[in-house]
Chains A and B, each alone.
Chain A
């Protein structure tokens, strides 16, 4: 498949080159359609969110009220902070106009007058790149008042975060835009009813939004035929860890994980065996290397394998990897990033980390395995937002898939000599 989101065209990030390849023609097309026709195209295309939850994008747009006195908002989520995820950064760098065009089309479809692009604070360099693109789009009349003479007006502002993973959660993101601490909100009410400043708001991931002009360009029928039928379209897969060519690769959904590792990412250094793969960012359930056969990168494929697509940020680990160290590091992350609102997550992530530290230093007991699982089970589903689940899933799946690693550390604990040799 020819790359659509990240085409290899020199200087594609500049507006002149983007326009020369048909850029902003879809915005022109969209404003000539009825807003609900645009939403319908997106709905029929089968596009599902690329931020982690795989929610149908067009359906999400229909949740926005049509008759309302209140201003409506679109937040484009570029907070990208899930460990193993580095795809939105590629869009900011290589194809910012596709995202901007998509956002303005989405704004038109939903009657949004202000778009906020939320970008993590660390990406300041990329914020400047995108701002340059936004400025040039304003100058050409693609953003602002009376866009392309259609009578439709919308603004596009970048909102810079300041270091908080939780702000990628949609309600935290809105609180952050409001100048609050990034605490998640209780749902319902959902953002489409009660979002920014109590007004109807939709939050879409950067990559999701970048797909919108592609749908209009090829038509929903053609788009729906790309990749996995129930989760179609191009997808940016980030591959990191023990591979020869780590990086972001664009492909249709539904590609075999083994093909992604071997063909796209050049296989494992030293031809080592794969011990484990985290398929979609650190919160997705870990898979055993020997169970990868036939598993595909799409919602159904990964669900059947006992995991999920998440952000499609694959972390590959070879046979020599210390998985206890991996899960301890992941849990340290969620402990650090827990916002502290809900007790199960605030306390539980810390407890899990403490127990895992015992395994890491071979001081754990057999009972610690069940204790760890018990804590994880009591976080899952008991918090306001999904961070609690995101912290519990890797621990639960690690114990399920690699219980022997934990047990070995328990045995190690009883035999200090073996512990020194193990590690």
Chain B
């Protein structure tokens, strides 16, 4: 983990009664740097926070946003929950599947895209939608999806 992140973790510890509270934020930092959270990462974070490595593993396996294996450069998360479903999110999902020639949970051979289905992302008023990284892409149709995928480098 980078020196900047280590320093940030030390700062964040001051916000809580116990250093363990920083585990989510530390995992975010690790994932930001490496793209996914390896066991090496979990052990390093455990050391920095003074908690057992198995505790960090337990946390990682509970929260769905931590990647426990490498993913593509862009992780595409298509919401398929009710509000999006009612506005044809399955069409969006199928379109991306066909365009990228991958199934849900898979990564393109060039490691550029990973496609996953997401639970409600709080974008029900602008459905259908997908999230890529921190960005929300809303009110989607096939043409819009094509444009977005072309622009993602």
Whether the Cβ atoms of A122 and B121 lie closer than 8 Å is yes
Interface residue A246 (Cβ < 8 Å from any Cβ of B): yes
Whether the Cβ atoms of B131 and A164 lie closer than 8 Å is no
Whether the Cβ atoms of B62 and A164 lie closer than 8 Å is yes
Interfacial residues of chain A within 203-249, with CB under 8 A of chain B in the complex: 238-242, 246-248
Whether the Cβ atoms of A248 and B27 lie closer than 8 Å is no
Closest residue of B by beta carbon distance from A127: B134
Whether the Cβ atoms of B59 and A179 lie closer than 8 Å is yes
* Shortest beta-carbon distance from B35 to chain A in Å: 15
* Shortest beta-carbon distance from B24 to chain A in Å: 5
Whether the Cβ atoms of B120 and A121 lie closer than 8 Å is no
Interface residue A330 (Cβ < 8 Å from any Cβ of B): yes
Interface residue B126 (Cβ < 8 Å from any Cβ of A): yes
Bound CA span A239–B49, Å = 43
Of the listed stretches A7-15, A76-84, A345-353, A364-372, chain B binds A76-84
Interfacial residues of chain A within 107-123, with CB under 8 A of chain B in the complex: 114, 120-123
* Shortest beta-carbon distance from B81 to chain A in Å: 5
Bound CA span A84–B83, Å = 6
Interface residue A272 (Cβ < 8 Å from any Cβ of B): no
Whether the Cβ atoms of A82 and B120 lie closer than 8 Å is yes
- A184-204: CB near B (< 8 Å → 1, else 0) gives 000000000000110100000
Which of A71, A162, A326 is packed against the most chain B CB atoms within 10 Å?
A162
* Shortest beta-carbon distance from A310 to chain B in Å: 13
Note all chain B residues with C-beta closer than 8 A to A240: 83, 86-87, 124-125, 127
Whether the Cβ atoms of A157 and B83 lie closer than 8 Å is no
Whether the Cβ atoms of A162 and B124 lie closer than 8 Å is no
**Contact A238 B121, CB 8 Å, known A164-B64, A176-B24, A181-B58:** no
Of the listed stretches B12-20, B100-108, B140-148, chain A binds B12-20
Note all chain B residues with C-beta closer than 8 A to A321: 86
Number of chain A interface residues as a range: 35 or more
Whether the Cβ atoms of A325 and B28 lie closer than 8 Å is no
Whether the Cβ atoms of A160 and B24 lie closer than 8 Å is yes
Interface residue B114 (Cβ < 8 Å from any Cβ of A): no
Bound CA span A182–B24, Å = 11
Interface residue B135 (Cβ < 8 Å from any Cβ of A): yes
**Contact A180 B83, CB 8 Å, known A246-B124, A313-B124, A315-B124:** no
Whether the Cβ atoms of A239 and B125 lie closer than 8 Å is yes
**Contact A83 B81, CB 8 Å, known A122-B122, A179-B23, A336-B119:** yes
Interface residue A95 (Cβ < 8 Å from any Cβ of B): no
Tell which of A242, A315, A333, A339 touches B119, judged by Cβ atoms closer than 8 Å. A333
Whether the Cβ atoms of B131 and A122 lie closer than 8 Å is yes
Tell which of B22, B24, B119, B123 touches A86, judged by Cβ atoms closer than 8 Å. B123
Interface residue B10 (Cβ < 8 Å from any Cβ of A): no
**Contact A197 B18, CB 8 Å, known A125-B135, A159-B24:** yes
**Contact A124 B119, CB 8 Å, known A179-B22, A246-B127, A329-B82:** no
Note all chain B residues with C-beta closer than 8 A to A155: 15
Closest residue of A by beta carbon distance from B77: A122
Interface residue B48 (Cβ < 8 Å from any Cβ of A): no
Tell which of A162, A246, A336 touches B126, judged by Cβ atoms closer than 8 Å. A246
Whether the Cβ atoms of A81 and B63 lie closer than 8 Å is no
**Contact A89 B122, CB 8 Å, known A162-B64, A179-B18:** yes
Number of B interface residues in the complex (CB < 8 A): 42
Interface residue A282 (Cβ < 8 Å from any Cβ of B): yes
Whether the Cβ atoms of B62 and A161 lie closer than 8 Å is no
Bound CA span A329–B83, Å = 10
Note all chain A residues with C-beta closer than 8 A to B16: 177-179
Tell which of B21, B119, B122, B124 touches A179, judged by Cβ atoms closer than 8 Å. B21
Interface residue A85 (Cβ < 8 Å from any Cβ of B): yes
Interface residue A337 (Cβ < 8 Å from any Cβ of B): yes
Tell which of A121, A242, A313 touches B86, judged by Cβ atoms closer than 8 Å. A242
Note all chain A residues with C-beta closer than 8 A to B120: 81-85, 282, 333
Whether the Cβ atoms of B119 and A162 lie closer than 8 Å is no
Which of A83, A121, A247 is packed against the most chain B CB atoms within 10 Å?
A83
Note all chain B residues with C-beta closer than 8 A to A162: 24, 27-28, 63-66
Note all chain A residues with C-beta closer than 8 A to B20: 178-180
* Shortest beta-carbon distance from B51 to chain A in Å: 8
Interfacial residues of chain B within 75-97, with CB under 8 A of chain A in the complex: 80-83, 85-87
Closest residue of A by beta carbon distance from B136: A125
Note all chain B residues with C-beta closer than 8 A to A326: 82, 85-86
Interface residue A423 (Cβ < 8 Å from any Cβ of B): no
**Known interface pairs A84-B82, A240-B124, A321-B86; 15 further A-B residue pairs with C-beta atoms within 8 A, sorted by A's residue number:** A81-B119, A83-B82, A85-B124, A86-B122, A122-B65, A161-B24, A162-B28, A162-B66, A176-B24, A177-B21, A179-B20, A179-B21, A197-B17, A242-B86, A278-B82
* Complex A-B, nearest 5 residue pairs according to Cβ-Cβ distance, in ascending order: A163-B65, A162-B63, A240-B124, A163-B64, A179-B20
A-B residue pairs in contact (CB < 8 Å), sample of 17: A83-B81, A83-B124, A86-B123, A88-B122, A122-B131, A163-B65, A165-B119, A177-B16, A179-B20, A179-B24, A181-B59, A182-B63, A197-B17, A238-B125, A246-B127, A282-B81, A333-B119
